[in-house]
Each structure stands twice: as C-alpha cells, then as structure tokens.
Amino acid sequence: QKEVEQNSGPLSVPEGAIASLNCTYSDRVSQSFFWYRQYSGKSPELIMSIYSNGDKEDGRFTAQLNKASQYVSLLIRDSQPSDSATYLCAVRWDTGRRALTFGSGTRLQVQP
C-alpha cells in the first residue's frame, strides 16, 4: 500500500514568518509531487508541482524534493493570514497510473 503521510497540525506561525510543511511517502517508485491548498469547504487548488530532486521556487513558495529520503516539503515565506488553510501533499506513483494519492493534509494557521 503506497502511502503519503503528513502531520495534521495545526501548524501555527506568526504573520511574516516562514511556514514549513512536510510530507513523506512510502515508495521510491514515484514520479510527480504536488502541493494543493484547500480552504475550508472549498476544492483543492494547485500551489506547486515538483518532479526532480532539489528546490523549486514560485513567488513566496518553495517546494523541496529529496527522493533518497522520500520526503517533499513546502516552504511559505512571509506568511500571511490569507495563507491559513489546509495544505495537501499529493504523489503520482510511477506505475503508469494517473491517479493522485493524497496525504490527509496539514492545517496551517497564520496569526496576525
């Protein structure tokens, strides 16, 4: 059973701080990794995708992937109260399947 693990939180950070969200996955045969943001009662919204080891930056967001250690993380710089949401880590396994396997999400609270 391939799994994706996230700390459910809540992770509480003050406004302007860096929020660090982590995700581990169970199988080395993985290809693609995604971070989605989900506000309460809303649908998941893609924040970042990352496919190779290293860092990928997009504005205030940085995704980090370490396939050897089987973890992927999301850093949010200069956190804003509007960043308060649940962040879902998703993995597409390199088995020819198209489906995503999601973690249960980490709830982030940015305190003003």
Partner 1 sequence: DTGVSQDPRHKITKRGQNVTFRCDPISEHNRLYWYRQTLGQGPEFLTYFQNEAQLEKSRLLSDRFSAERPKGSFSTLEIQRTEQGDSAMYLCASSSLEPGQGTTTAKNIQYFGAGTRLSVL
Q: Which residues bind partner 1 (CB under 8 A)?
A: 4, 8, 32, 34, 36, 42-46, 49, 51, 88, 90, 92, 97-105
Measured CA to CA, the distance from residue 106 to residue 10 in angstroms comes to 7
Smallest separation, CB 34 to partner 1 (Å): 8
Nearer to partner 1, 10 or 14 (CB): 10
Judged by beta carbon, residue 87 or residue 110, the one nearer partner 1 is 87
Q: Using an 8 Å Cβ cutoff, are 49 and 57 in contact?
A: no
Residues 21 and 88: their CA atoms lie apart, in Å, by 10
Write down the least CB distance from residue 112 to partner 1, Å: 25
- In degrees rounded to 5, what are phi and psi of residue 80? -120, 155
Residue closer to partner 1, measured from CB, 42 or 77 = 42
CA distance 76 to 60: 6
Find the shortest distance in angstroms from Cβ 85 to partner 1. Answer: 13
